[in-house]
């Protein structure tokens, strides 16, 4: 999953998505009984499913951002309009399902994400546009945004 630090994500031209970045994959192993010890049986692992609508929404948001996660500066986002629509819809769902005490934090994160999406759309998906915009760097490093991002990440880590 992408880094939680927004300044790192912004520097690389990826969208700053704090709640998405904090989702944790939980792996469970299929264990065996004492009688199975020493056998050549293959142990498999599976990804745990999100157990709440909120966690499912976080996973949907993470999937929506996959096309832009980790893109370097100067790279182009393919189908930027479709990606932007999916990211917006997923983030609206996460925000709607977030606990009331964190809604303002999610709305603040969404404002920065919306700014990034508009820039990407206006520039044909060129991530260099994000690096050239001083407002994005300023917004992403604002102490209020950083605090909101931390609260979101802590909640998602603890819940999902």
Q: Give CA–CA dist 117/11, Å, rounded.
A: 15
Q: Give CA–CA dist 148/17, Å, rounded.
A: 12
Using pLDDT thresholds of 50, 70 and 90, give the confidence band for residue 49.
Answer: low
| C-alpha closest to that of 49 among 18, 25, 29 | 25
**Domain around 104:** 6-159
Does an H or E element contain 72, and which? none
Residue 1 lies in a domain: no
CA 119: distance to chain centroid?
Answer: 18
Residue 35 lies in a domain: yes
| pLDDT at site 69 | 79
User: Number of folded domains in the chain?
Assistant: 1
Residue 101 lies in a domain: yes
Q: Give CA–CA dist 21/106, Å, rounded.
A: 13
| pLDDT at site 48 | 54
Name every residue whose Cβ is closer than 8 Å to that of residue 5 and which is 6 or more positions away in sequence. Answer: none
Whether 97 shows a pLDDT value over 50: the answer reads yes
Q: Give CA–CA dist 94/114, Å, rounded.
A: 14
Residue 99 lies in a domain: yes
Q: Structure pTM? A: 0.68
Residue 54 lies in a domain: yes
Whether 27 shows a pLDDT value over 70: the answer reads no
Instruction: Give the residue with greater pLDDT, 103 vs 30.
Output: 103
Residue with structure tokens 């790192």? 8
Residue 107 lies in a domain: yes
């Amino acid at each position: 999953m992408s880094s939680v630090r927004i300044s790192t994500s912004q520097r690389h031209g990826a969208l700053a998505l704090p709640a998405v970045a904090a989702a944790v994959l939980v792996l469970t192993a299929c264990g065996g009984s004492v009688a199975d010890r020493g056998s050549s049986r293959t142990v498999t692992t599976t990804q745990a499913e999100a157990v709440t609508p909120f966690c499912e929404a976080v996973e949907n948001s993470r999937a929506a951002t996959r096309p832009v996660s980790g893109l370097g500066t100067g790279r182009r986002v393919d189908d930027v309009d479709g990606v932007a629509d999916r990211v917006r819809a997923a983030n609206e769902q996460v925000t709607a399902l977030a606990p009331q005490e964190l809604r303002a934090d999610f709305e603040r994160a969404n404002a920065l994400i919306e700014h990034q999406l508009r820039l990407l759309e206006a520039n044909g998906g060129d991530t260099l546009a994000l690096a050239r915009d001083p407002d994005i760097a300023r917004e992403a490093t604002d102490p209020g945004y950083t605090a909101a991002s931390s609260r979101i990440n802590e909640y998602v880590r603890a819940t999902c």
